[in-house]
Copies of this chain bind each other. A is one copy, B any other.
Amino acid sequence: MQNTDHEFRSRCSIARSLELLGDRWTLLIVRDLMWHGKHTFQELQTSEERMPTNQLSQRLKRLIHWGLVTREAYQDRPVRYRYELTGKGRALEPLLLQIMRWGHENLDGGLYDPVQKTTVSAGRC
């Protein structure tokens, strides 16, 4: 299911993007899927930010609905899913890097280098 049935409030690409990404959690899920090898619900729950279970569940559904994430059952009884970014989801990497850079320079956070897989200052992302 893609986003073609969604009524956007604006023709601006920034406003549109924020309808999907504009909250405290969604881009952290994308971060964990993209760089931290977290692919199950349990793994995604273990982030430093301690995302509430219901928020994680709702955000994952939305990411799937919008075609940024796919899920595949890897176990029956109980059924468990593995989550992966699609191309549209992976295309958020430059945006994540820009947010990280701004936060690093202005809010004193850590700067994780996804290429080297290392943290280049105190803290980490």
Contacts and interface: CB of A to CB of B under 8 A. Distances in A.
Interface string A101-125: 1111111111110000000001111
A125 to B, nearest CB: 4
A108 to B, nearest CB: 8
B14 A28 contact: yes
A99 B28 contact: no
A107 B3 contact: yes
B24 A22 contact: yes
A13 B100 contact: yes
Contacts of A28: 12, 14-15, 18
A98 interface: yes
A49 interface: yes
Contact of A110 (B12, B19, B102): B12
A99 B107 contact: no
A27 B50 CA distance: 25
Nearest to A122: B11
Nearest to A17: B103
Given A11-B109, A103-B14, A23 B22 contact: yes
Interface of A: 3, 8-25, 27-28, 31, 48-50, 88, 91-92, 94-96, 98-112, 122-125
